[in-house]
């Protein structure tokens, strides 16, 4: 909460905890400390709501119900999952391909989307052009062997990507690889269908264009920017049929709420999949991830998932309606399951993040390490209806 000078009031005890949190965060690099790390390192802080890491909590419950019935109820199956090697990459791709709607030969199964990002950058790229702000692994994984150039998205225009300016920036840079996330992280901007198709047509001469669709399930179906659906779910996979140089990446952590399993995939031309599998990615997933992929391929599971997804989209809509009317923070429009918020002048994102955690048990992400964000920003993950109300009240208490 603010004093009469508009400065957040902080107690001595809170300041000491803030310093401990800052040390913990600095040790975690450009990513927030995990819940387990937080609880082990700072047991005096109670985390009631995780509004930092991005996932669909209803889908987590759905997965847990199936896992209980399929695996935990069958001790021999569970033991086998732990004791035996999982299937090879190509076998899992065969099982998953119909659910995604692609030829299994074009499907690369990954140990989380970050593994797919790293594999593609290291094998099919030398100079990467990214939008900023964006998901940091796209430039962190480049390393010293790659050149990285940037295109700044305008914060004052609510992170809308101008297609012509973007294409000109890519071509001027001389990059052989461009990266587009839609909806983008951390701002939630969704590239419209026509804009995305136009951009890709102008970048057909590049060696690689990565299109990351990790948050597309949360976009409104009427304007999802997906250009199509598979099994009733919006997806960008059809772009790989139209553009030979396009690779679509998908994290399963966000929409299915299973970050701990580390499951993701990428869709690309067959020759690239073969190259990756011939160079170290044959057995790169766990038995738990294989179980999830088999579950994802079940029509009954997908039907139930679509139901909980529709419910969760309602939670997103109601939360963003609340924040849109808030006078104490600027909340940007989003097509994802999180919302980027700009704090009032003179208010530190690190301070607000700490006070939300200490006073209310609400864990959100400070965005001070996000390249391309000029100002003080936090990113808030959207949770269940009761949790969202608590998060909003906590923000109001600290800021208003």
> If you average pLDDT over residues 319-342, what whole number do you get?
97
Classify 225 in phi/psi space as left (phi over 0), alpha (psi -120 to 50) or beta. left
* For the chain, percent of residues with pLDDT exceeding 70: 94
Residue in the block written with tokens 């390192």: 41
What's the CA gap between 382 and 123, in Å, rounded?
35
For residue 344, what pLDDT is reported? 93
Burial class of residue 338 in the structure, from the number of CB atoms within 10 Å of its CB (0-12 exposed, 13-18 middle, 19+ buried): buried
Burial 236-260 (b: 16+ CB within 10 A, else e): bbbbbeebebbbbbbbbbbbbbbbe
Q: Kindly report the average pLDDT of the chain as a whole number.
A: 91
C-beta separation of 128 from 148 below 8 A: yes
For residue 30, what pLDDT is reported? 60
For residue 2, what pLDDT is reported? 45
Say whether pLDDT at 254 is over 60. Answer: yes
C-beta separation of 236 from 271 below 8 A: no
For the stretch 359-380, pLDDT in tens is 999 999 999 889 999 999 999 9
> If you average pLDDT over residues 325-339, what whole number do you get?
96
Confidence class for position 329, pLDDT limits 50, 70, 90: very high
In angstroms, the Cα distances linking 81 to 71, 78, 84 are 9, 5, 6
* For the chain, percent of residues with pLDDT exceeding 90: 77
For residue 133, what pLDDT is reported? 96
Classify 101 in phi/psi space as left (phi over 0), alpha (psi -120 to 50) or beta. left
> If you average pLDDT over residues 70-83, what whole number do you get?
90
Residue in the block written with tokens 């939630």: 188
- Say which residue, 322 or 227, is predicted with more confidence: 322
For the stretch 167-181, pLDDT in tens is 999 999 999 999 999
pTM of the model: 0.90
For residue 7, what pLDDT is reported? 52
> If you average pLDDT over residues 150-176, what whole number do you get?
97
For the stretch 221-245, pLDDT in tens is 544 454 588 989 999 999 999 999 9
* Structural domains of the chain in order of their starting residue, each with its CATH number: 12-60+303-399 (3.90.1150.10), 86-297 (3.40.640.10)
Confidence class for position 88, pLDDT limits 50, 70, 90: very high
């Amino acid at each position: 909460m603010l004093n009469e000078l508009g400065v957040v009031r902080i107690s001595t005890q809170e300041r000491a905890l803030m310093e401990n949190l800052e040390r913990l965060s600095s040790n975690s690099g450009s990513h927030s400390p995990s819940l387990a790390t937080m609880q082990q390192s700072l047991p005096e802080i109670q985390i009631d709501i995780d509004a930092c890491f991005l996932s669909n909590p209803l889908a987590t419950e759905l997965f847990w119900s199936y896992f209980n019935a399929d695996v935990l109820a069958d001790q021999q199956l569970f033991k086998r999952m732990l004791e035996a090697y999982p299937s090879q990459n190509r076998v899992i791709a065969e099982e998953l391909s119909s659910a995604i709607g692609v030829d299994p030969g074009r499907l690369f199964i990954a140990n989380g989307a970050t593994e797919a990002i790293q594999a593609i950058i290291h094998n099919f790229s030398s100079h990467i052009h990214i939008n900023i702000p964006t998901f940091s692994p796209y430039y962190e994984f480049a390393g010293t062997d790659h050149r990285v150039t940037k295109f700044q998205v305008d914060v004052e225009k609510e992170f809308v990507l101008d297609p012509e300016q973007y294409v000109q920036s890519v071509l001027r840079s001389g990059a052989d690889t461009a990266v587009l996330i839609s909806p983008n992280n951390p701002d939630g901007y969704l590239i419209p269908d026509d804009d995305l198709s136009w951009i890709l047509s102008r970048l057909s001469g590049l060696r690689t264009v990565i299109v990351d669709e990790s948050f597309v399930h949360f976009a409104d179906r009427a304007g999802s920017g997906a250009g199509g659906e598979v099994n009733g779910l919006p997806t960008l996979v059809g772009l790989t049929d139209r553009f030979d140089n396009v690779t679509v990446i998908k994290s399963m952590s966000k929409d299915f709420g299973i970050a701990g399993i580390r499951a993701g995939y990428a869709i690309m031309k067959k020759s690239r999949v073969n190259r990756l599998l011939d160079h170290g990615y044959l057995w790169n997933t766990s038995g738990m991830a294989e179980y999830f992929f088999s579950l994802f391929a079940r029509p009954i599971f997908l039907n139930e998932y679509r139901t909980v997804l529709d419910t969760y989209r309602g939670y997103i809509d109601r939360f963003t309606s609340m924040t849109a009317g808030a006078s104490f923070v600027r909340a940007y429009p989003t097509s994802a399951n999180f919302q980027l918020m700009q704090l009032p002048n003179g208010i530190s994102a690190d301070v607000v993040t700490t006070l939300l955690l200490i006073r209310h048990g609400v864990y959100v992400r400070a965005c001070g390490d996000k390249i391309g964000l000029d100002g003080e920003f936090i990113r808030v993950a959207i949770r269940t209806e009761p949790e969202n109300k608590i998060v909003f009240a906590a923000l109001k208490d600290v800021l208003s």
